[in-house]
Structure 1
Amino acid sequence: IGSNNSIVATAILASNRRGRSSAITEEVYKLADSKYNPYWGYQNGEIRNSRERKITEPILLLNHYLETDKFNLNTGVSYQKGINARSRLGYFNAPNPDPTYYRYLPSFYINSPIGANFISADLAKQGFLEKKQISWEGIYAANTKEKAAYVLYDDAVEDQQFAINSVGNLTINEHFQFYFGINYRSLQSDNQAIIVDLLGASYHEDSDPFSNTENNLDGDLRKGEKDIFNYHYKIAASQLDAFAQLKIALNKWNGFIAVNHSNTNYQRNGLFRNGRFPDTSFGKSETKSFSNPSFKGGLSYQITGRHWLRINGGYFDRPPVFQNVFINPRENNDIVNNLQNETISTVDANYFIRLPKLTGRLTGFYTRFQNATDVNYFFVDAGVGSDFVQEVITNLDKLHMGIELGLEYELSSSVKLSAVTAIGKYMYASDPNVAINFDTAGSEEDLINLEGNIDLGVAKIKDYKLSQGPQKAFAFGIEYRDPKYWWVAATANYLANNYANISTIARTQSFYIDPETAAPFPQATEENVTQLLRQKPLGNFYLLNLVGGKSWLKKGKYISIFVSVNNVFDTVFRTGGYEQSRNGNYGQLKEDNLSGNPLFAPKYWYGYGRTYFLNVAYSF
């Protein structure tokens, strides 16, 4: 639209469907292997995965650009509507269909409280090896009656997102530039469980089998395929933020200073009146609002044209994510008590070098996260009792600090060497407060208390390592480029000090309490507890990756081929994991570990073995 204005319209349709895999214990890994995935099984000779993720999220964008010599402005509007669904098997007054369920494994019989039963353990091992995948045939056989014992359903999130933003910059003079922007985002999120397949049954009874309560007191108890069941709620979220930044360039000095402020609002609207929370599940919650100022700045100094320094710092105030605002959004409107904004303080210092044959960067960084909140869900046998709980962690601090070095050296016009080092320290930096919440509807259940929540005090987790990936990483690479338009490269990597996520509830005082006597375990001394809860690294490992390619120019047409082989030596390695929180008291966890093959051992994810990639391109 003229020489200074332009409008661009964009439409994107993104659709994806993929199977999901599970973390597994060391016991299951030894019985199967690192590639084992218990979520799938054969149905009529074909593989069927019970855990799939399906995403369809089309996006519409409209942008206007205004460009002049000293002033630029980009204004955009976007709208996105789509669904993100994760499938799973539900079972109701029926055996758990997961082949790795703890009662189906040898360790269940080895760790029996009445003594190890090695005959039953061996039978369990043989049974697992013979039927280590989901038995779809068995599931359909169990569903021959009208009422479903098993259903396949989606945890579905249907989002509508609208956003409008405007970002501009003004060149004041050769030394000063001013940047500014404003952004508004609105989200309407519909969260529901949808029955995908009744698996041979006629209907599903929408009630909770543990408390014998209905999931929707105002709805039909019988549900069919494509019906919403279990839970249904909507989330309304909006955020308005604005920023301003001044950039300065003065001879050898360059710098910037910026300020940002945002306002965020969350509200839940329950569409089911849940039988376990009849007074707090249906209708709108209070609106939770957060106001967040943030600041950042940076300064660079050019020592020479080949050496320069840069330092950046910032203080960021940000709201908790929605998942950590509501304690149990699928069932009620309850909000975390004393909810706070999370604050982040960060600084990094950098040295850059650029010589004719050598380029590099050295960085040191320090980042402190404070007042974070985290909500988790699991079944626990704690010193205060046993139940399905929502664990609420508040006043949680984390620390990231370390150094990074990257170098690249041209050995010749054809050969290039590279080296990377990253040494970090990622840890918990406080002892946060832990509380648990649970329902009190089950008349036949042995309740922890009648209030539905209990404050467990602080969790002693300060200085435990975060599950952030390897805290030490080293890489060395060599690349050769031939004048005849082919190239090959190899990179050797060493990764170390990776840790599984810890169980927070196991580090509270309730861990010391014997649930049978309500008194501390005599053997639960600080020394014994520290040894039992000692955090172990996942294991260090080496990886070798190869890449190569070649290109041709034929009659004005460009042909190229790219090949990569990752993890050449097919190394087995763990990428992450987590401690199970089931054993929430000292006596139970100690007894579970006596055999060296615990029922509720940590679960791990494993990386890919040797993988290959081939890409052929033809340009005309």
Structure 2
Amino acid sequence: MKKFNNFLFFAVIMLFTTVTFAQSTIKGVIVDGEMRSALPGANILEKGTTNGVDSDFDGVFTLTTNSTSGEIIISYVGFQSKTVKFNGSTDLGSIVLDLDSTLDEVVLVGTGVIDLAGSRETPVAVSTISGRDIRLKSSGNVEFGESMKNTPSVYVSNQAGGFGDSQIFLRGFDQTNTAYLLNGQPINGMEDGAMYWSNWSGMSDVANVVQVQRGLGSSKLAISSVGGTVNIVSKTTDKQKGGFVRFLGGNDSYAKSTIGYDSGLSEKGWAFSVLLDHWQAHRKYSIGTAGQGQNYMFSVGYKPNEKNTFNFLLTGAPQWHDQNFSQDLEFYQEYGEKANSNTGFYEGERYTERRNFYHKPVANLNWDLSINEKLDLSTVLYASWGRGGGTGNVGNGRVRVGGDGLNAEEIDFDQIELNNIATATTINGGQYGTFGDSYLRRSSMNNHNWYGLLSNLQYEANENWSMNFGVDARTYNGIHFRQLENTFGLDGYNDNFRTDRPNDYVITETFDADPWSSLFNSADNDQRYDYNYEEVIQYLGGFGQAEYSNDNFSAFVQGAVSTQSYQREGFFTGAGNGLGKSDKISKEGYNIKGGLAYKINTKHSVFANAGFYSRQPFLDNIFSNVRYDNALSEPDVDNEEITGFEGGYRFKNKTLRVNIDVYSTEWGNRFLSINGPVQPGADGIIDGENGQISADDEFSTYRLTDVTQKHNGIEFDVEYRPYAGSWSFRTFGSIGNWKYDGETPYTLQNDDTGDFITTDGNVDLTDVKIGNAPQTSFGFGIKLDVAKGLSVDMDYNIYSGLYEFVDPADVADAALASEIYESVRLPAYTLADAGLTYRFSLGDNALTFRANVYNVFNESYINQKDAFGYYLGIGRTYNASLRYNF
């Protein structure tokens, strides 16, 4: 028995010793391969176990393993994972992680339908912005588009209009002619190509990366962009467990709070991620531009085996924001650069005539199937349900404060209510307003239901050849009408203006301009007025791509064909003959593009791409006055034709990266819609100098056909990062020559009545400069690590060659006077932004403090001029945030 006890004792000792010595201590520092700086919060996991740690704010980690040899897996969001072998305790030193262009370790699904430039060997003109930079520099009271402004040929304007009202120009083309994709899903408006960034304000918090592909781009889809393609890859289901809480505050009482959590990938293959936030401010910059909104994202992924991966994503950014419009310079000089003629006071509180409100939930279901080692299939089903619109006035009873004060041009809503009551029309015992005497606030509703499918089959034939084939199908139903929002003391509105309804027809129901209530509640047909119609657009496209590559050479060819149909159905006569269904119009389009690249050596490479697009027109151009009438445009609006060429040079070593691109784009047979001069309304006179401050004045639109634009230019992007240095520097710029070419016919049409004011205009636009974006721009940025965990950065931008948008009547008048039209050039300007980041430990977790100052020197500038007036830029603004990662 004694021998047995001794044996048992020694067995226990040996077992304990074995367990104790079957461990290793692994140390190292995780470093960003691009920035050459520490990566705090990187995940280090012993392969085949749940044993892991995170790197501290200096990128340092220490992991005690369960065995004496094996492998550790190192991962960080937005970077390629790395597997490192170990044998016994060791210090691995610096471990460099490279940026992950395919995002395979970040996004569980969708890599087959997300067209990132890194997934193709033949280069394109591209700039990539990491999610980290977006969250540091472009969160909170800064437009999401600002994250793209430090790239060549990108211009962001109109930020003073209100939260989310900015516009983005790419190589001089506006955002209706640049393709925007969210996880491979097209998000430009189907009717007019428009982008409303207020609907996508949450992207600052959920974007993993934004890739700006200028010009031809690498998209395989049947879409045909003119300016380029912007791929927004959002956070979906993260494979790593963790979360964060962030609080942010800024100028003008801006406040935002955000929380996010990732469950990590379970042993059974499930994972989910959730993000919620809320923001609000009493104004953005100008008076009367208050805003409030939320952002939500929920994603769940499932990987049942090595061949299949599924992911469901639901995201949305319900918001409302009050708006400011362009004005004459004299207006700003008299009332101040923050003045807003849309606003005033009502019952003691700031109240604004123009409010945008919208809620656009977006859902998609992804399935990635690895059929075999050479064949992969990626499919996404997506849907969006947009509800909301914009408010404005109905009726001729607007009253302004008047006098000599700074608020003289503001609206006196209290006096309006008194006037409404005094001038009300009595119908069946109720007090109702009329168009001629009263003032009410209405909402112009723009609802839609959008469903689509994208599928891409990728075949890797061998190490040299790869091919893709796919389908792009969409169906879209747009619903447009007007409803009452505020009656200002009245029982409703007597709808007897430009309508075939009975003279005593009244509308009594009101609906809040609120993004949540509009999702479920809007006016029935009998409570809609002025216009009420729906549109159906159906789109089907197929695409294919083949690429050959070896060690030094690559080439690709890509083609797509598509068909698109349009139909309008009206439910209200209104000002035109809009009842019933229009004829169904179908148009076919196609595109083809190809390219070549040659690697001279490991550092130098060159490439060239060319393409041609035949693009179907937007629905809003098919109909002569889509709001009121089923009549088609005359002459018939045909496909637009885009021809593009580009070439580039690339240099890259361990510390320096240089990109140089040249491009030439010709856009022919373009339909162009431009805001025209204000027309007199019911009183027969023009009451104001622009469409925003008049009483009942009416808008008009120039409709130009067969317009040709030529955009030529050169771009560069240089970045220097010393390998072991504490600083980095980058500079970029673009020089363009963008002009119209040739003669074009045009008409001038009253938007409110549909009547043609001019039917046979003709104008020669040859050599007229294209406006709204600077044709020359430069910038540079520097980042400096000051001390442990502390860094500062600064960006400086120079904009020149900015022209007014062209008024065809001015060009025609110059020709009649035998004069040469001179494009009006706006003043050049510069902007400087600065930021500070401080990371420090809180126990085992990390805290990050970030502060930003935009337009540091408070420069006053004009960033755009449209048909109604000027948009001023935003003066000095700021924000600061604290983020806790756990």
Choose from 113, 120, 131 the match for 2:408.
131
- 2:385 alignment partner AA: K
C-alpha separation in 2, matches of 1:242 and 1:185 = 12
Residues 485 and 439 of structure 1: is their aligned pair in 2 closer, same or farther, counting only changes over 3 Å?
closer
C-alpha separation in 1, matches of 2:818 and 2:368 = 64
Does 350-359 or 475-484 show the bigger shift? Answer: 475-484
Q: 1:436-455 residue pairs with structure 2 within 5 A?
A: 436-437=748-749, 454-455=758-759
Q: Does 1:480 align with 2:778?
A: no
Q: Does 1:425 align with 2:702?
A: no
Aligned residues: 537
Shift of 1:478: 2.2
CA contact under 8 A between 2:399 and 2:413: conserved in structure 1? Answer: no
Does 412-421 or 192-201 show the bigger shift? Answer: 412-421
C-alpha separation in 2, matches of 1:418 and 1:6 = 39
Q: Does 1:298 align with 2:595?
A: yes
C-alpha separation in 2, matches of 1:441 and 1:316 = 35
Residues 378 and 224 of structure 1: is their aligned pair in 2 closer, same or farther, counting only changes over 3 Å?
farther
C-alpha separation in 1, matches of 2:628 and 2:608 = 47
Q: Deviations over 1:419-467 (max 9, x none)?
A: 212111122123211023459999xxxxxxxx95753232122222222
Q: Does 1:325 align with 2:617?
A: no
- 1:525 alignment partner AA: A
SS at match of 1:526: coil
CA contact under 8 A between 2:591 and 2:613: conserved in structure 1? Answer: yes
C-alpha separation in 2, matches of 1:309 and 1:97 = 63
Shift of 1:233: 0.5
Q: Deviations over 1:100-155 (max 9, x none)?
A: xxxxxxxxxxxxxxxxxxxxxxxx8x536352311111211221022321110111
C-alpha separation in 2, matches of 1:618 and 1:485 = 15
Shift of 1:255: 1.6
Report what 1:399 is aligned to: 710
Choose from 55, 67, 80 the match for 2:358.
55
Q: 1:139-538 residue pairs with structure 2 within 5 A?
A: 139-144=416-421, 145=424, 146-148=431-433, 149-208=438-497, 213-214=498-499, 216-217=500-501, 221-226=505-510, 227-274=527-574, 276-277=575-576, 280-336=577-633, 337-376=635-674, 378-379=676-677, 389-410=700-721, 413-437=725-749, 454-482=758-786, 484-508=788-812, 525-527=817-819, 530=820, 534-538=822-826
- 1:173 alignment partner AA: N
Shift of 1:356: 3.2
Does 153-162 or 199-208 show the bigger shift? Answer: 199-208
Does 429-438 or 547-556 show the bigger shift? Answer: 429-438
Shift of 1:63: 1.6
Does 227-236 or 547-556 show the bigger shift? Answer: 547-556
SS at match of 2:783: strand
Does 255-264 or 420-429 show the bigger shift? Answer: 420-429
CA contact under 8 A between 1:456 and 1:508: conserved in structure 2? Answer: no
Residues 375 and 207 of structure 1: is their aligned pair in 2 closer, same or farther, counting only changes over 3 Å?
farther
CA contact under 8 A between 1:434 and 1:505: conserved in structure 2? Answer: no
- 2:835 alignment partner AA: V
Residues 130 and 8 of structure 1: is their aligned pair in 2 closer, same or farther, counting only changes over 3 Å?
closer
Q: Deviations over 1:458-499 (max 9, x none)?
A: 212222222241111111222212451211112222111111
Shift of 1:14: 2.6
- 2:410 alignment partner AA: Q
C-alpha separation in 1, matches of 2:573 and 2:310 = 48
CA contact under 8 A between 1:351 and 1:362: conserved in structure 2? Answer: yes
Report what 2:349 is aligned to: 46
CA contact under 8 A between 2:739 and 2:766: conserved in structure 1? Answer: yes
CA contact under 8 A between 1:39 and 1:133: conserved in structure 2? Answer: yes
Q: 1:102-113 residue pairs with structure 2 within 5 A?
A: none
- 1:14 alignment partner AA: A
SS at match of 1:30: helix
Q: Deviations over 1:346-372 (max 9, x none)?
A: 111111111333211111111111111
Report what 1:573 is aligned to: 861
SS at match of 1:88: strand
Q: Deviations over 1:508-530 (max 9, x none)?
A: 36x88xxxxxxxxxxx6313xx4
Residues 440 and 569 of structure 1: is their aligned pair in 2 closer, same or farther, counting only changes over 3 Å?
closer
CA contact under 8 A between 1:397 and 1:429: conserved in structure 2? Answer: yes
C-alpha separation in 2, matches of 1:181 and 1:98 = 57
C-alpha separation in 2, matches of 1:98 and 1:260 = 55
C-alpha separation in 2, matches of 1:97 and 1:254 = 67
Shift of 1:303: 0.7
Residues 546 and 390 of structure 1: is their aligned pair in 2 closer, same or farther, counting only changes over 3 Å?
closer
C-alpha separation in 1, matches of 2:704 and 2:753 = 24
C-alpha separation in 2, matches of 1:373 and 1:199 = 41
- 1:495 alignment partner AA: Y
C-alpha separation in 2, matches of 1:486 and 1:503 = 51
Choose from 376, 393, 404 the match for 1:72.
376
Shift of 1:219: 10
RMSD: 2.5
Structure 1 unpaired stretches of 5+ = 100-123, 443-450, 513-523, 581-602
Report what 2:155 is aligned to: none
CA contact under 8 A between 1:503 and 1:578: conserved in structure 2? Answer: no
Report what 1:121 is aligned to: none
Shift of 1:390: 4.3
CA contact under 8 A between 2:677 and 2:867: conserved in structure 1? Answer: no
CA contact under 8 A between 2:597 and 2:606: conserved in structure 1? Answer: yes
CA contact under 8 A between 2:391 and 2:443: conserved in structure 1? Answer: yes
C-alpha separation in 2, matches of 1:469 and 1:436 = 25
Shift of 1:542: 1.5
Residues 440 and 249 of structure 1: is their aligned pair in 2 closer, same or farther, counting only changes over 3 Å?
closer
Residues 194 and 439 of structure 1: is their aligned pair in 2 closer, same or farther, counting only changes over 3 Å?
closer
C-alpha separation in 2, matches of 1:231 and 1:219 = 17
CA contact under 8 A between 2:679 and 2:700: conserved in structure 1? Answer: no
SS at match of 1:129: coil
C-alpha separation in 2, matches of 1:441 and 1:361 = 52
C-alpha separation in 2, matches of 1:150 and 1:71 = 64
Q: Deviations over 1:520-550 (max 9, x none)?
A: xxxx6313xx4xx533222111211111201
- 1:311 alignment partner AA: A
C-alpha separation in 2, matches of 1:491 and 1:8 = 38
C-alpha separation in 1, matches of 2:556 and 2:319 = 41
Shift of 1:251: 2.7
C-alpha separation in 2, matches of 1:164 and 1:410 = 42
